């Protein structure tokens, strides 16, 4: 009953533009009627974007899954080169992913790059990777390396965060993806990811990126051992940084997938928890323009429904997703633009093809099929003298058991 009464007060705050508090967020998690919470989030979504629902054409490259960190939720990483299932792409292989799209006449506008923390790759591997991709398609937007990777590069190559970002920027980096944030609360980080950067370090990488003019995204990994308070606290810390810098474009709640990782005894979030978390994110993060329902993670049907619970973006065509498919995601590896359009229209929303920075590329009648919005892309071969650092690691496509630490901590 109290949660019901408090919803009226929260509604007043939302309508008058007053930021919600931690207590409000917890109330929204406790409120028995999901649809009332969703309707309020939908008001905000429609105030900001009307029916517009964004998507893009992108390609994922996970150049290596070798990772020094031991995040317990991760099914993708392998501790060392040579471990079963470990791989590291040669640069030519990574560039070949884009070349294949160009040769297929697929006008992708973004490459999303997220990797493990590989102890053996030189900094040049990353700058060459970016430069080679830009040579193949100079207009491509490179959204690459989570804050965790940037922080790792700074430590490993003994540079400041600012220098790492400047050097990567000079090589072609255009923005940062939002991964690696997980849950900021130290209690949770200690249990699920105690050997990578802290919450403050993650936030600081984004602060520096925003200061030098890079746009970034932000995420929250939910549905494992965190409490409602810890989720809200996480969102409020993102909101505070956004108040300071204004550099976040999109918040992406990432639903935990339990297969093949050290937390696999956990059930993962339910559909109701997914929708409620999306709605609450829209309500709390009034200063972050977009909320992304990443269909790969959520499943196509829940992502479509989330468009009425605060979300205004479905991410993209994706292609080659590895992180969630190795954790049990049952979604397809890729979606054709026409299928994304169909899903959005079927949800009663208006599809808009965007670029990574949310410039509108196409909407309305032009979006009814694949063909009218194909654009010509320039094709050029990378001019690189030497092939990449050949790592000697076997390329393995099959998913082998992840190295696990023991499983006793889940609380």
Q: Which of 14, 63, 161, 323: binder of ligand V47 (CB under 6 A)?
A: 323
Residue 177 makes contact with ligand V47 by CB under 6 A: yes
Residue 294 makes contact with ligand V47 by CB under 6 A: yes
Output b/e per residue, 172-190; b: 16+ Cβ within 10 A: bbbbbbbbbbbbbbeebbe
Q: CA 388 to CA 383: how far, in whole Å?
A: 12
Binders of ligand V47 among residues 4 to 63 (CB under 6 A) are: none
Cβ neighbours around 50 below 10 Å, total: 11
Evaluate whether 206 touches 247 at the Cβ level (below 8 Å): yes
Q: Which of 171, 185, 327, 335: binder of ligand V47 (CB under 6 A)?
A: 327
Check residue 172 and give left, alpha or beta (phi > 0: left; psi -120 to 50: alpha): left
Residue 254 makes contact with ligand V47 by CB under 6 A: yes
Dihedral pair phi/psi, residue 353, rounded to 5°: -80, 130
Q: Which of 114, 168, 264, 314: binder of ligand V47 (CB under 6 A)?
A: 114
Binders of ligand V47 among residues 134 to 173 (CB under 6 A) are: 146
Residue 217 makes contact with ligand V47 by CB under 6 A: yes
Task: Please name every residue paired with 112 in a beta bridge, in sequence order, or none if there are none.
Answer: 60, 143
Residue 252 makes contact with ligand V47 by CB under 6 A: yes
Q: By C-alpha distance, which of 278, 205, 251, 198 is closest to 34?
A: 278
Query: How open is the CA angle 78-79-85, to the nearest 5 degrees?
Result: 30
For ligand V47, give the closer residue by CB, 178 or 388: 178
Contact stretch for ligand V47 (CB under 6 A) within 72-80, 235-243, 279-287, 392-400: 72-80
How many residues would you count in the chain?
A: 411
Residue 75 makes contact with ligand V47 by CB under 6 A: yes
Residue 180 makes contact with ligand V47 by CB under 6 A: yes
Residue nearest to ligand V47 (CB): 179
Residue 179 makes contact with ligand V47 by CB under 6 A: yes
Q: Which residues bind ligand V47 (CB under 6 A)?
A: 73-75, 114, 146, 177-180, 182, 217, 219, 221, 252, 254, 256-257, 261, 294, 315, 323-324, 327
């Amino acid at each position: 009953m109290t949660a019901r009464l408090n919803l009226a007060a929260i509604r007043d705050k939302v309508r008058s533009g007053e930021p919600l508090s931690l207590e409000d967020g917890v109330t929204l998690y406790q409120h028995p009627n999901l649809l009332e919470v969703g309707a309020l989030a939908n008001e905000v979504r429609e105030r900001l974007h009307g029916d517009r629902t964004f998507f893009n054409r992108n390609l994922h490259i996970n150049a290596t899954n070798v990772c020094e960190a031991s995040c317990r939720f991760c099914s993708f990483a392998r501790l060392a080169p040579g471990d079963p299932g470990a791989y590291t792409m040669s640069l030519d292989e990574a560039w070949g992913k884009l070349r294949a799209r160009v040769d297929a006449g697929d006008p992708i506008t973004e490459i999303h790059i997220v990797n493990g923390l590989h102890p053996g790759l030189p900094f040049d591997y990353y700058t060459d990777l970016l430069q080679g991709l830009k040579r193949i398609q100079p207009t491509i937007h490179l959204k690459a390396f989570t804050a965790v990777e940037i922080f790792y590069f700074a430590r490993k190559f003994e540079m400041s965060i600012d220098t790492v970002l400047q050097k990567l920027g000079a090589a072609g980096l255009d923005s940062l993806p939002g991964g690696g944030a997980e849950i900021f609360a130290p209690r949770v980080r200690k249990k699920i990811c105690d050997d990578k950067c802290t919450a403050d370090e993650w936030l600081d990488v984004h602060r520096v990126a925003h200061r030098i003019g890079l746009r970034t995204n932000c995420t929250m990994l939910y549905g494992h051992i965190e409490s409602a308070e810890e989720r809200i606290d996480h969102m409020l810390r993102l909101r505070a940084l956004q108040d300071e810098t204004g550099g976040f474009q999109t918040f992406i709640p990432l639903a935990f997938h339990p297969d093949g990782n050290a937390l696999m005894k956990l059930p993962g979030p339910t559909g109701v928890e997914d929708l409620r978390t999306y709605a609450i994110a829209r309500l709390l993060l009034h200063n972050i323009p977009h909320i992304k329902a990443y269909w790969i993670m959520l499943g196509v049907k829940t992502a479509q429904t989330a468009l009425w619970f605060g979300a205004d973006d479905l991410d993209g065509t994706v292609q080659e997703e590895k992180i969630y498919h190795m954790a049990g995601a049952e979604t397809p590896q890729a979606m054709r633009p026409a299928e994304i359009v169909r899903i959005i229209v079927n949800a009663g929303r208006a599809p808009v093809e965007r670029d990574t920075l949310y410039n509108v590329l196409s909407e309305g009648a032009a979006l009814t099929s694949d063909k009218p919005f194909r654009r010509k892309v320039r094709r050029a071969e990378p001019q690189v003298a030497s092939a990449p650092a050949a790592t000697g690691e076997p390329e393995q496509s099959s998913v082998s058991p992840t190295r696990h630490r023991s499983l006793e901590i889940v609380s």
